[in-house]
Amino acid sequence: MIQSITRTDFAFPKQKNVYHGKVRDVYNIGDQLLVMVATDRISAFDVVLPRGIPYKGQVLNQIAAKFLDATSDIVPNWKIATPDPMVTVGHYCKPFPIEMIIRGYLTGSSWRTYKSGERKICGVPVPNGMKEHQSFATPIVTPTTKAEEGHDKDVSKEEIITQGLLSAEDYEKLEEYTRKLFQRGSQIAAKQGLILVDTKYEFGKINDKIYLIDEIHTPDSSRYFYAAGYKERFAKGQPQKQLSKEFVREWLMENGFQGKNEQQIPEITDDFVKSVSERYIELYEQVTGETFQRTSAKNVINRIEKNITTFLIEY
């Protein structure tokens, strides 16, 4: 198997700390810059799986960089540069404690909630009689809290404001940005024969200015359907052909794992790792319209460290 990078532990000049998230290792450089290394870790149901996926970090980082550049006219974002295929360096922002999730279709976790009988998702009413993978008349915004550990929790707009997580003014601005970003992402996806089904955005502030942070429109944060055949599959009640991490969740559920206490993660085989890697590369090529360039698998850690250090010295 090709080497995968599941953890980094660098020490850069002016480094204050490093945060190892579910997927990314984030280095705080003097409360001025963040160095975000997109590792090959993969998570599902808020649990990091025990094996990495080759090229996954490169796919995530490069897709996010492209979409940050393609949406910078809508909202300022944190990105400054991508000194390595697996690295983005950007402005240090104070993050808001919620994620803004927007859904154009009733699918995934929203469908599972709906199928259980719920007719509100994060306080947003959803009509009776909808079917799996059906489009909403207007995309719905369904925020979640950002958990330091464990599962993120659904939360309504009203709860966000009354709990003081965000001011009413900031929330309204984030929802406006979320809808505009989703519209732009949907337009770009449509040109590639894809449907942007749902996604999540994270925001932060520098002083009083709101910035888009983290990743955007990647397979970890988004779900895509192929546009060709969508209507026919929907009419027949068939599963949609999709590019997202949902197939990983489905495989885990088929093998008895949904992230619940006392459930065991099934064995992650070489064949499964290879198939997931190929799906990520497929998504990159589909969503960008470009051929994915596999970087050398030799001395990846050394390459990443050298490229980051060079950037920080020259910045």
Considering the domain architecture, whether residues 43 and 121 belong to the same structural domain is answered as no
* 171 residue type, one letter: Y
In a domain, 257, yes or no: no
Residue 240: which domain range? 96-208+216-244
Tell whether 237 and 104 lie within a shared domain.
yes
In this predicted structure, the answer to whether residue 227 has a pLDDT above a threshold of 90 is: yes
Q: Are residues 239 and 171 in the same domain?
A: yes
3-state secondary structure of 99: strand
- pLDDT, one tens digit per residue, over 235-262 is 999 999 988 787 898 899 999 999 998 8
Torsion, Cα 64 182 192 78, to 10 degrees, reads -20
> What predicted TM-score, i.e. pTM, was given to this entire model?
0.90
12-34 pLDDT tens trace: 999 999 999 989 999 999 999 99
Q: Which helix (H) or strand (E) holds 200?
A: strand 194-206
Write the CATH number for 154. Answer: 3.30.470.20
Query: Do residues 111 and 151 both lie within one domain?
Result: yes
Domain-terminating residue out of 199, 224, 244:
244
Whether residues 117 and 231 share a domain: the answer is yes
Structural domain contains residue 106: yes
Which positions ≥6 away from 185 have C-beta within 8 Å?
67, 71, 196, 199, 216, 217, 222
pLDDT(150) > 60? no
